[in-house]
A and B are shown apart, each in its own frame.
Chain A
């Protein structure tokens, strides 16, 4: 089996990323683009999904398994609540959204239910015929999919349009301040009444969302799907909990983590070499990129990376460049196996023809430094401060 570290597809940091003659267009398929504009929520139904006791306790007869508390009519959707949901879905996707695709071999009924809802538009303002029953089944599926350590939460199944195409979203909400949710009877039906606490919502403090969203693209029967998981976002784990993406939504990642990681690394390095002229800034950014890659964080959030490590206009410029070049700007699981070798060395090529390769650790230890020339800021000065052990011809 080929060693991925030494695969012929790997480029060195002196190759493609700095090649001035490379055409601007990238031939490889670009990752899906995320545009979170134009959300219009038209209906929502909420069910309670309680915490489950461990199987061991149930087997021992010390606890009984729980059941979801399902409602059977949509919540009253005031303008406040509508815009609240639209804003929260857009923000959660923008913050931590990543593309997924429906698994062919999934046992989850959620994709089928979502497609049914998308295929049946609302009937003169009333919810689509299958919407309420489908949402109840989704609540049961979420209850079955999540483990014993998942706290009691609410499942909001939301319908509407996103960029003028139908969408259906499953939002796992935690009961917390910001939303006051009260069970109530309406005639023979039971539902949740949602009161948006205006002041709290204004601060957008409400968080802890898991969002799974299916949207018709408007091209034939094509459906796109996105997930975000604020509970794992920025943490040491994956970009989303497996139970939510796989067992509940019946989806899988569109691209493999090692591919996304390599694209992000290549394009960020390429942009640093092309767009940043200050040698010190260039070195800082490159070092930040390497640190991001070798850190023990299990995911990369490009927006946060740009925000934390880049200066001024470079933040937006980097994200725009990644987007233009088909590299991910959304959060993704990190896997450095395709770039592992490149993470250990810094390669430099100077205009006069000198090429140098130095292990990154020597920059970290201070043995090697790269600075601006004090008389001419356009020039760089590479310094190796050490005892010369051997000198010879190649």
Chain B
């Protein structure tokens, strides 16, 4: 290993760093947009590999003279609340619609059924030069980025275990390593319980309204990029859901999906224009329901609103914001 090689690597990576920073940001932006469009609650973060970390990896892996072979110089992480959502994000990436997937590393498959540990799914993906602004420095090799997809529980385990296992001044003893690895089981149980709880909720009485709420939240997140207040939404859903009659909830979901597709442009405009929150109920997921019903029959909305004992003044403002005033 030559000292010149290390100097050169250091210098070259320093030059390339703005490009790798941008690669991560482009990948993260695409992931944010795509997950938002699917209504998936998650956080997406990114950062380029730090200079010291890259140098250590190059030395350990014997790749001081081959910077292009290191594929995690840019990285992005998607962290979901629910395991089902993590799988949906992974499926989204596998389609190749966002970027080119070169390699997938599913830790569940690697650990099989007799080992414990971190259970995220990692992808090595590439961008093309056309995906980046022209004024960035050229880099050696492909525009790699490592994308990690995991749940919040898996992320927590990875976040605390990695420094304890690999970055302590002295290597931990086997007993300590086992204790640290054992923590991953808590994450697995946490995720499993979430899935079980979600499954049980759908069989409970009152689920149709809850399912409608869930549908509305997904649409709203995709359109407005924000969450609402569950209690406020419950009031609106309770008031207007009877307007769907017996069709509730299966046909309603299809109706709402068709409405969102048809009125996507108007919905995005309204959520952008009234982002200041000064018109009541507009920045709530149930506004999607209000707008859909106003388009269908504004007279019926007015009648139901009054029957439910809600203030008409609020509906007057919301309906005017939508462009279908009730008066």
Contact = CB atoms under 8 A, between A and B. Distances in A.
B313 A95 contact: no
12 contacts: A37-B269, A38-B269, A40-B273, A79-B276, A83-B317, A86-B320, A87-B320, A90-B321, A90-B323, A202-B311, A204-B317, A204-B327
Interface string A303-330: 0001100001101100000000000000
Given A79-B276, A202-B313, A316 B323 contact: no
B273 A90 contact: no
B322 A306 contact: no
B272 to A, nearest CB: 10
Nearest to B314: A202
Contacts of B325: 36, 87, 90-91, 94-95
Contact of A313 (B269, B297, B320, B321): B297
B278 A79 contact: yes
B235 interface: no
Contacts of A36: 320, 323-325
Contacts of A86: 320-321
A166 to B, nearest CB: 16
A79 to B, nearest CB: 5
A323 to B, nearest CB: 12
A29 B158 CA distance: 67
B300 interface: yes
A22 B278 CA distance: 49
Contacts of B320: 36, 86-88, 90-91, 94
A80 interface: yes
Nearest to A204: B316
A389 interface: no
- Counting chain B CB atoms within 10 Å of each CB, the highest count among A79, A94, A313 belongs to A94
A221 interface: no
Nearest to A311: B299
Interface of A: 35-40, 79-80, 83, 86-88, 90-91, 94-95, 164, 202-204, 306-307, 312-313, 315-316
Contact of B278 (A80, A90, A312, A316): A80
A37 B327 contact: no
Contacts of A87: 279, 316-317, 320-321, 325
Contacts of B313: 202-204
Given A79-B276, A83-B279, A95-B327, A316 B317 contact: no
What 8 A-B pairs have minimum CB-CB distances, sorted nearest first? Answer: A37-B323, A316-B297, A87-B320, A94-B325, A91-B325, A315-B299, A90-B320, A203-B313
Contacts of A35: 323
Given A306-B299, A316-B296, A316-B298, A38 B323 contact: yes
B57 interface: no
Contacts of B269: 37-38, 164
A181 B311 CA distance: 27
Contacts of B297: 313, 315-316
A170 B121 CA distance: 60
Interface in B295-320: 296-300, 311, 313-314, 316-317, 320
B266 A91 contact: no
Contacts of B317: 83, 87, 202, 204
Q: Which DSSP category, helix, strand, loop or mixed, fits chain A's interface?
A: helix
A90 B327 CA distance: 10
Contact of A37 (B266, B300, B311): B266
B214 interface: no
A38 B268 CA distance: 11
B322 A316 contact: no
Given A38-B323, A94-B324, A204-B317, A83 B296 contact: no
B263 to A, nearest CB: 10
B248 interface: no
Contacts of A316: 296-300
A313 B300 contact: yes
B37 to A, nearest CB: 22
Contacts of A91: 316, 320, 325, 327
Contacts of A88: 320
A177 to B, nearest CB: 15
A275 to B, nearest CB: 14
Nearest to B296: A316
Contacts of A80: 278
B274 interface: yes
Interface string B233-256: 000000000000000000000000
Nearest to B295: A316
Contacts of A95: 325, 327
Contacts of B299: 306-307, 315-316
Contacts of B323: 35-39, 90
A95 B300 CA distance: 17
Contacts of B311: 202
A79 B298 CA distance: 27
B214 to A, nearest CB: 27
Contacts of B279: 83, 87
Nearest to A80: B278
B273 A38 contact: yes
B223 to A, nearest CB: 15
Contacts of A204: 313, 316-317, 327
Contacts of A38: 266, 269-270, 273, 323
A91 B314 CA distance: 14
Nearest to A91: B325
Nearest to A317: B297
Contacts of B274: 83
A221 to B, nearest CB: 25
A316 B323 CA distance: 15
A25 to B, nearest CB: 21
Interface in B123-137: none
B90 to A, nearest CB: 38
Interface string B264-293: 001001100110101100000000000000
B260 to A, nearest CB: 16
Contacts of B266: 37-38
A89 to B, nearest CB: 9
A87 B324 CA distance: 10
B33 to A, nearest CB: 22
